[in-house]
Amino acid sequence: MKPVLESAGLDGWIIRLFEVIDEHNLPWLSALSHRCEQEFGDALVDLVPSYTTLLVVFNPLEVSPQQARAMICRILADLEPEDSTHTGEIHELPTWYDLSVGPELQRVAAQAGMSVSDVIKAHSQQVYRVFALGFAPGFAFMGLTDPRLECARLDTPRRLVPPGSVAMAGRQTAAYPTATPGGWNLLGRTTASLFDRNREGFSLLRVGDQVRFVPVSREEFEREGGDARPMEPLA
């Protein structure tokens, strides 16, 4: 691991710890986040972790870019990964897998040489780690999926993806917290409330959490308030 610091303007540094997405990156990124919180104190504005980097945003009226860089270098000099037994919260998201709300189930199955039922089984049996939040409030990038399911994004993104839609792209998976455009492969829909302005922190999922998608029937899905209206054809 050879960390690289990249300037993000007068109030930020991007710390690049890794070049490849891997679940073993997370203990290092979590440790770095916590050390930055301690080191910067009240001068810290925000921390934005991703699969391989951490963006540190600070108050330039309290800390200059040069001082911030020196602080980060001190942290990196003796950084150690967090205990791997720390797992964050565990979430089970009830999910209705069906072609009417997961129109790319067939696409993923065809590419993997599997049946739709086997795709559902492979996706739902995996326990995923939340690596980053972004794109939209409450949108959690999770991984890694079963390598057999790896599938590229759609060539033409949808203009609107319904909230709760469970999707995957590459070896990442996620659930759309709100209605937004999107180009990931839709597999189903969850009843989980992923973003709530009345919830502390707003987002149900946080970096480091573990997630499993639990298959439910249409009846269970609707009983829990799920929207079973089928997807509009892809324009």
DSSP secondary structure, 145-177, as one string:
--GGG-BPPPSS-EEEE-TTEEEEEBTEEEE-S
Residue numbers of the domain that contains 61: 4-77
Rounded distance, CA 123 to CA 214, Å? 10
- Give the CATH number for residue 34: 3.30.1360.40
Verify that 105 and 38 share a domain, yes or no.
Answer: no
Query: Regarding beta strands 90-97 and 140-143, do their DSSP bridges make them parallel or antiparallel, or are they unpaired?
Result: unpaired
Verify that 166 and 205 share a domain, yes or no.
Answer: yes
Tell me the pLDDT tens digit for each residue of 13-57.
Answer: 999 999 887 778 888 988 898 899 899 999 998 888 888 899 999
Residue 2 confidence (pLDDT): 85
Locus of tokens 């890794």? 18
Q: In terms of Cα–Cα distance, which of 192, 48, 188 is closest to 132?
A: 48
115 located within any domain: yes
Q: In terms of Cα–Cα distance, which of 58, 33, 5 is closest to 131?
A: 33
Q: What is the largest CA-CA distance in the chain?
A: 59
Locus of tokens 């995923």? 128
Rounded distance, CA 182 to CA 135, Å? 10
User: Per-residue pLDDT averaged across 210-231, rounded?
Assistant: 96
pLDDT-based confidence at residue 235 (cuts at 50, 70, 90): low
The answer to whether the peptide bond before residue 144 is cis (omega within 30 degrees of 0) is yes
- Does residue 90 register a pLDDT over 80? yes
φ/ψ of residue 66, rounded to 5: -70, -40
DSSP state of 1: -
Verify that 19 and 70 share a domain, yes or no.
Answer: yes
Verify that 51 and 120 share a domain, yes or no.
Answer: no
Tell me the pLDDT tens digit for each residue of 91-106.
Answer: 999 999 999 999 999 9
Residue 83 confidence (pLDDT): 74
From its phi and psi, is residue 213 left (phi > 0), alpha (psi between -120 and 50) or beta? beta
